[in-house]
Structure 1
Amino acid sequence: MLPNCSRMRGQARSTRYGLLTVLLVAIVAQGSVPGATFAQANPQQMNWPSYGNDVGAMHYANVEQINLSNVAQLQPAWILHTGVMSGSSSFESQPLVVDGVMYVSSPHDHVFALEAATGEIKWTYNPDLPPLENLGICCGQTNRGVAFGEGKIFIAQLDSTLVALDAANGNVLWKIAIDLWENSKTETLAPLYANGKVIVGLSCAEFFCRGHVTAYSAADGTQLWRFYTIPGPGEFGNDTWSGDSWKGGGGSVWGTPTYDNDLGLVYFATGNTAPDANGSLRCGDNLFANSIVALDANTGQRQWHFQEVHHDVWDYDGPEPTLLFTAHANGQAIPAIGHGNKSGYYYILDRRNGQPIFPVTETPVPTNPAWQCPAATQPIPAIDDLIPSNIEVHIPGVKEGPLWTVPDEGDPTLIQPGYESGMEWPPAAYSPRTNYVYVSTGGYQPWLTRVTKELYSSLGGTPEPVIPGNTQYGLTRALDTSTGKIAWTIRDDKSLVRSGVAVAGDLVFFGDSGGLRAADAKTGKIMWTFATDPDQKIGGANGSPSVYVVNGREYVVFGFGGNVRLRATAGYSPNGDALIAFALPQNGQASSPRVVTANVKQVEADFPASAYVAELTSPPPGARVVDIQVHDFHYFPSEFSAAPGEQIAVHLVDTDFTGYSIMFNLPSGLTGMKTGVGAGKDAYIAFSTPSAPGAYSFFDPRGPVRFFGTFGYMNVTSEGASAEGE
């Protein structure tokens, strides 16, 4: 694909493009990102001022007080318990450190300013959020970090607001609405601060939205420009959407953008299309979903794009943030951008124009069923696949499909990669010492997938990884950017891996089910591990590490709070609330860490425990039974009528291959099934209808499921019983 040009469709043969026969060679630290500088290897003070340390997000620190010879002595220097955790939370924040002060966010958008050497709390920002169960948050309650600039801390909140805080005391300086949370628009990324601008994306593609990236003035929050990731009529790329499908075409931006000061360009990767798995109503390549996009930082005008997946019907989007570094090819220094998506492929492009540095081949792929409007080819890079693309463990009686199998009606198909098997939100890291990119790849976990022609939900289909006989494992990998080959692999046989990565000198830090690890950046040999301890609220190692120096002492800081999506898909990731800074023993003596406990204003994050009642195996005597089937994230019927004060027993029958639940919003309070029903199972819930006529909602209370379309209404009328809807 050439920059600023539509991809040719219906070609008779594969098309190769890019700089052919290129070998990348050594990449130097200075100038890896224009304008970036790196400290000496043993400084007295060293900041981590941006998400990824530099605005190109290399996640690299040129420091080596902690090194291969002594990392085994690393120990906790201090521990902060934030007091913030819920059944749906993930602690994924990457702390910033500026002039000895650390700034870190909680999963519920609190911000803590800490003494970076001791963990002592200087100030706390308590957000004013609506109840989180009322927000259409796709993939867990989380915040991935803050931005620093002009003496301010910037946080993009779950309720789709951008807040500027005084870095000295935490006071709110300004606050603006990015979009409407009532329309399931949310923010989970860390903003980017660059040259007086605060730049944020938007998360909402699972709920029929039109994504965008927006720049605001750091001084007062004035909107400077907005770029819609799904082009409208008259805009380049709108012809890749059939009809009016662009209006809700998706294109979330999950990862923090990156910035090249010399080129004046902002880069980001986009998320999936909407509806996610049903492509029948949005024929075409669907730009700029599933793409890397470069914008003019001053105007927001598109400069180039590269689409990694055409007409996505697999959820193979790109939540991983982009990564900037400098490559040398054919005797030239080439400003490069790297990015991996959930298909398992990694792309390295010339960030000046979007041209592939390693060749990319438009490769024919399956095109049935035709009603899905599947793309005829997909862009495959000449770089090693980072995760498996075929089924490795066969399950008797289950239909299988390799990568690019188009989901269809009928029996579900087991496909690898699944919806969450590849590169997710965790940022990769790059080391100019090794020329390696270090990636938390996800790993192997095929998902069952089925799609219906009739659209019942915003997902457009049903995905499920937790099935009898299925298996998973995680892969943390180093990719040699000089050859495009995998340099080393660390396998986690217990769980997919979901952890940010950072490089400090000759060490790479990352998390997996074993805890936080330090490995030899060149060989992958594990040199040190700090295990999780759920009993002490030291949860899953699913944070994103930062490295800094205060008063001549080097620290590595990491959040241990687990990941809700791993917990939901049978991975290992216990809940927790701990932020831990590690350092070498002072004076060679081990010591107990200082433990700090925060006192925050809690955000309402879950439905109350009192709302849940045990399911019944049969209806109570005298209750009228209302049968409701559920499949494809939809209730059948989605409406029914009842008389005031009537005894009702709702019989929930799951005819799908994934589980569901149901909860009713009544004047007396919420009442719902405690555990729900499993695939192919059924259960009852009984209650008395309200005495007042009206429409009372019911929905699946588990995470974002109701916002996909699993909701309905009970109409209490004097006429009494009837069923409506589908």
Structure 2
Amino acid sequence: MRSIHSVLHALPLVAVLAGASFQPVFAAPVTADRLVKAASETGSWLTHGRDYREQRFSPLQQINTETVDQLGLSWYHEFESTRGLEATPLVIDGVLYTTGNWNHVYAFDAVSGELLWDFDPEVDRAVGIKLCCDAVNRGLAAWGNNLYMGTLDGRLIAMDRDTGKPVWTVQTTDPDKYYSITGAPRVVKGKVLIGNGGGEFGVRGYFSAYDAETGDQVWRFYTVPDDPAKETSPILKEVSSTWSGEWWKLGGGGTAWDSMAYDPELDLLYVGVGNGSPWNREIRSNGEGDNLFLSSIVAVRPDTGEYVWHYQTTPGEEWDYTATQHMILADLEIDGQLRKVLMQAPKNGNFYVLDRVTGKFISAKNYVNVNWMTGFDENGRPQIVPEARYGTTGKPWIAAPSPFGGHNWQPMSFNPETGLVYFPTREMGFPYVPDTNFDPGEKKVNLGADLNAAAMPQDPAIKSAIKAATKGRLVAWDPIAQKEAWGVDQPVPWNGGTLSTSGGLVFQGDGKGNFKAFDAQTGEEKWSWFAQTGIVAAPVSYSVNGKQYVAIMAGWGGAVPLVVGGELLSESLATKTNRLLVFGLGGKAQLPEFKQVNKPLTPPPATADAETVQFGQKQYQTYCTTCHGDSAVSGGVIPDLRYASDWTFQNWEAIVLDGLYKNRGMVPFDDVIDATDAQAIKSYVIHRAHQTLQELEQRNKGETK
């Protein structure tokens, strides 16, 4: 019997829709006027942040503080893949469009959940080595009758909205370099805007505009200057004075890997810029200069890419304090004057309110503990603590926030009715230790900071103290008073983005698998639903035929689960079950029975000497941490090597050096390590497995007393 999936692909779309329960409205093209007026199209979600202001506020009220207890699952779709889900769905004319991991695209009947079409761009899994933070994608853009997506291998693809078939494809990056794309495009006046990632791998950042109809490149804006002898851009020639040495040979960084916003009235496009490459400014720029436009918000003209203004959140950044986090545009009355503002809570721990007309600093306040700076001068420049410059001092610095940020990519929302911004925060420190063996030719993660020295200590008391100090929180922030209005503690530090509604609610998923609704005024929990997996994406709300729905992509993953591992995420829920969940009042759908499977820990004998294990630890922290987790403790996205099978340990070299699992994303590392290194890493992993066994045995003895 043919599946519904295959039948849908075989039939014309008209026939599919005619036979479905869904009664679509006319599928109108997404025009410039429609995007500008997206806020008034209350039942749709037309662009990444619902409208150009990126407020992620739904004016729908059917689901509210009084009715939310009637909310139930209307339908769901289970995905085959098991990596993180970070996408924000689009909902246009009764169809929900979303992306899974490895850039798989799906279109669903937004009422019934029927799969209308799907498209797999067939990204080579070997590009996984170029990804800092999981095989994720944050969503699509729409224009005319097309959808647009950036891929992990650097392509920008236009797809027909009715069929999913590719219309055009353009390679936006040099495939021989360590670029990637995880962010959602935006479309402004017929131009598709896209940036890229790779700031940890020695690349030069930029963002570009492509003609939505043809795929032709219209303009490109580089975020860091080239060799002054070759640089042709007037603005980049000017800012090259904020750099020193031969930074261009190391790439410089500054990738624009996520957030953008657009003001149609001012005709300004705002783009968030990322970290330096390498992190360590002493290596990157002789320890000198602000290094523009790293960690900056840059405003340009969308027609030409012409520079208008910038504000740098972290001058001379060397802590991975990106300014790529979500930006929100709003009009706020400040000191009796209505101001057009841009708001952002970047990684560095401060909440910023800027004048979006001029880029001038209005105010900022730390939303988590911050120790790298002491305050701001009158121009909004942070006063950086000299000791925080670990590259310059040559001494370790335990910084707050960590490189994972006080807030990361997870979208915020702004409710104009409460005047509050809602976003997930985290308290997490990190030891920045200068790398005395920095190799500029290194092809893998090359930060100028020693990840081996920064590994989690194995002393149980120290681990316990670090875990106690690491916290997650949902915060409602007053951007005028620059203070927290209310906050809710969460079980883990890595949680989902938010949606706020005119129903007086804030929706958010957490790392323990709970999808919740809170009172937007008070933070009181009004509703909770168990999603069977950790959630990191942000919800959306839409309506069809007068009924309101709330949708969320539920799938555990992203940077912290990959790199930090389970030591600090022991309360998280990593089940490798990925779903799109859609809720409505009176929903009666049920998920399959939840079963938590615990794999036995049965490592081979530990026979290596201490010197080999120590060397293996160094190699592991250098090459394996960013996927398999710090100190060989996985966060549940990539397999935990301590629990590897006998077959895996027996075929270790074939996997690590020969690329046996290349088609799964585990590329060969024979260009940076040899057989001796590989065996040492295996010895370290086995050693860690036996350490874990001892800890479990001691814990079990304590529980039975």
Q: TM-score, normalised by structure 2?
A: 0.74
* Structure 1 match to 2:615: 629
CA distance in 2, matches of 1:269, 1:183: 22
Q: In structure 2, what is the equivalent of residue 38 of structure 1? A: 39
Letter in 2 for 1:486: E
| Equivalent residue, structure 2, for 1:488 | 486
Conservation of the 8 A alpha-carbon contact between 2:129 and 2:667: no
Q: Is the Cα contact below 8 Å between 1:57 and 1:258 reproduced in 2?
A: yes
Q: How many residues align?
A: 582
1:188 counterpart SS class: coil
C-alpha contact (below 8 Å) 1:697/1:714 kept by paired residues: no
Which SS does the other structure have where 1:225 is aligned?
Answer: strand
Contact 1:257 1:266 in 2 (8 A): yes
CA deviation vs aligned residue, 1:114-142 (integer Å, no higher than 9, x gap): 00011111110011211245541011110
> Aligned partner of 1:458: which letter?
N
Residues 657-672 of structure 1 mapped to structure 2, 5 A cutoff:
659=631
Partners of 2:185 and 2:362 in 1: CA distance: 28
- In structure 1, what is the Cα distance between the partners aligned to 2:434 and 2:71? 50
Amino acid at match of 2:407: M
Describe how 1:151-166 pairs up with structure 2 within 5 A. Answer: 151-166=145-160
Q: Does 1:518 align with 2:517?
A: yes
Tell me whether 472-481 or 547-556 shows the greater mean CA deviation. 472-481
Could you say if the C-alpha distance between residues 237 and 171 of structure 1 is closer, same or farther in structure 2, counting changes exceeding 3 Å? Answer: same
Query: Does residue 229 in structure 1 map to residue 223 in structure 2?
Result: yes
Task: Give the equivalent residue in structure 1 for 2:252.
Answer: 249
The alignment status of 1:137 with 2:137, answered yes or no, reads no
The 3 A distance-change label for structure 1 pair 444 and 594 is closer
More helix by share: 2
Matched residues in 2 for 1:272 and 1:56: separation?
Answer: 24
Shift of 1:593: 5.0
CA distance in 2, matches of 1:540, 1:50: 25
Q: Is the 8 A contact 2:97 2:105 kept in 1?
A: yes
Following TM superposition, by how much is the alpha carbon of 1:403 offset from its aligned partner in structure 2, in angstroms?
11
Mapping of 1:145-184 within 5 angstroms? Answer: 145-184=139-178
Q: 1:680-699, aligned counterparts within 5 Å?
A: none
What does residue 405 of structure 1 align with? 388
Residue 427 of structure 1: which of 377, 393, 411 is its match?
411
Alignment of 1:451-462 (within 5 A): 451-456=434-439, 458-462=446-450
Which position in structure 2 is the counterpart of 1:98?
92
- Deviation of 1:168 after TM superposition, in Å, equals 0.6
Q: CA deviation at 1:38?
A: 3.3
CA distance in 2, matches of 1:689, 1:108: 26
| Alpha-carbon distance change, 115 to 404 in structure 1, aligned in 2, over 3 angstroms | farther
Partner of 1:65: 62
CA distance in 1, matches of 2:112, 2:359: 44
Which of 51, 54, 59 is 2:51 aligned to?
54
Q: Secondary structure at the match of 1:461?
A: coil
Task: Find the residue that maps to 2:101 and give its secondary structure.
Answer: coil
Flag the 1:366–1:584 CA change in 2: closer, same or farther, 3 A. Answer: closer
Amino acid at match of 2:450: T
Match of 1:284 in 2: 289
Q: Report which stretch shifted further, 559-568 or 263-272.
A: 559-568
Match of 1:312 among 305, 308, 317: 317
From 491, 500, 508, the equivalent of 2:497 is 500
Deviation of the 1:706 alpha carbon:
9.0
Deviation at 1:81, TM superposition (A): 0.6
CA contact (8 A) 1:214 1:223 kept: yes
Change in Cα spacing, 1:216 to 1:495, as seen in structure 2 (3 Å) is: same
1:411 deviation in Å? 7.9
CA deviation after TM superposition for structure 1 residue 173, in Å: 0.2
Residue in structure 2 matched with residue 195 of structure 1 by the alignment: 189
Answer yes or no: is the 8 Å Cα contact 1:278–1:459 preserved in 2: no
Inter-CA distance 631–305: structure 2 relative to 1 (3 Å threshold): farther
1: CA distance, partners of 2:516 / 2:190: 36
On the 8 A contact 1:435/1:480 being kept in 2, the answer is yes
Secondary structure of the 1:462 match is coil
CA shift, 1:182, in A, is: 3.3
**Correspondent of 1:358 among 359, 363, 367:** 363
Alpha-carbon offset, residue 357 of structure 1: 1.9
Any conservation in 2 of the 1:616–1:685 contact (CA below 8 Å)?
Answer: no
CA distance in 1, matches of 2:154, 2:650: 37
1:328-387 deviation line (CA, Å, top 9, x unaligned): 2354432211111112101110111100122699xxx999xxxxxxxx98747999x9xx
Where does residue 700 of structure 2 map in the other structure?
none
- Which amino acid counterpart does residue 466 of structure 2 have in structure 1? N
| Unmatched segments (≥5 aa) in structure 1 | 1-32, 368-375, 386-400, 534-538, 596-612, 639-651, 662-671, 678-683, 716-726
Is residue 555–residue 581 contact of structure 1 (8 Å, CA) maintained in 2? yes
Secondary structure of the residue that 2:561 maps to in structure 1?
A: helix
Letter in 1 for 2:345: G
| Residue 238, structure 1, aligned to residue 243, structure 2 | no
2:559 aligns to what SS in structure 1?
helix
- RMSD, matched Cα: 4.1
2:371 and 2:493 map into 1 onto residues whose CA distance is 27
What percent of counterpart residues are identical?
27
Q: Secondary structure at the match of 2:361?
A: coil
Which amino acid in structure 2 is aligned with residue 488 of structure 1? W
CA distance in 2, matches of 1:631, 1:619: 12
Q: Secondary structure at 2:526's aligned position in 1?
A: strand
* Aligned match of 2:25: none
2:78 corresponds to 1:76: no
1:527 aligns with 2:526: yes
Q: Which amino acid aligns with 2:508?
A: F
Letter in 2 for 1:314: W
Contact in 1 for aligned 2:55/2:329 (Cα 8 Å): yes
The answer on whether the counterparts of 2:365 and 2:483 sit within 8 Å (CA) in structure 1 is no
How many Å apart are 1:262 and its aligned residue? 1.4
Distance in 2 separating the partners of 1:635 and 1:325:
43
1:337, 1:382 → 2: CA distance?
16
Task: Flag the 1:444–1:689 CA change in 2: closer, same or farther, 3 A.
Answer: closer
1:711 aligns with 2:655: no
**Alpha-carbon distance in 2 for matches of 1:62, 1:635:** 47
Task: Please give the alpha-carbon distance, in whole angstroms, between the structure 1 residues aligned to 2:667 and 2:338.
Answer: 50
Alpha-carbon offset, residue 510 of structure 1: 1.2
Partner SS for 2:581: strand
Cα–Cα, structure 1 residues 279 and 658, in superposed 2: closer, same or farther, change >3 Å?
farther
Matched, 1:266 2:272: no
- Residue identity matched to 2:518: A
Answer whether contact 1:450 1:462 (CA < 8 A) is retained. yes
Residue pairs, 1:613-628, within 5 angstroms? 617-618=606-607
Q: More deviation in 149-158 or 351-360?
A: 351-360
Could you tell me whether the CA contact under 8 Å between 1:700 and 1:710 is conserved in 2? no
Native 8 Å contact 2:147 2:160 kept in 1:
yes
Kept in 2: contact 1:179–1:185 (CA 8 A): yes
- TM superposition shift of 1:497: 3.4
More strand by share: 1
Deviation of 1:659 after TM superposition, in Å, equals 3.2
**TM-fit CA distance, 1:425:** 0.9
What is the rounded CA distance, in whole Å, between the counterparts of 1:122 and 1:312 in structure 2? 46
How big is the shift at 1:566? Answer: 3.6
Q: Residues 470-490 of structure 1, C-alpha deviation per residue, up to 9 Å, x if partnerless?
A: 112101111112211211111
Give 1:99 shift: 0.4
C-alpha displacement of 1:291: 0.7
Do 1:476 and 1:497's aligned partners in 2 also have CA atoms closer than 8 Å?
Answer: no
Note the C-alpha offset of 1:181: 3.6
How far apart are residue 319 of structure 1 and its match?
A: 3.4
* 1:306/1:354 contact within 8 Å kept: yes
Deviates more, 1:323-332 or 1:161-170: 323-332
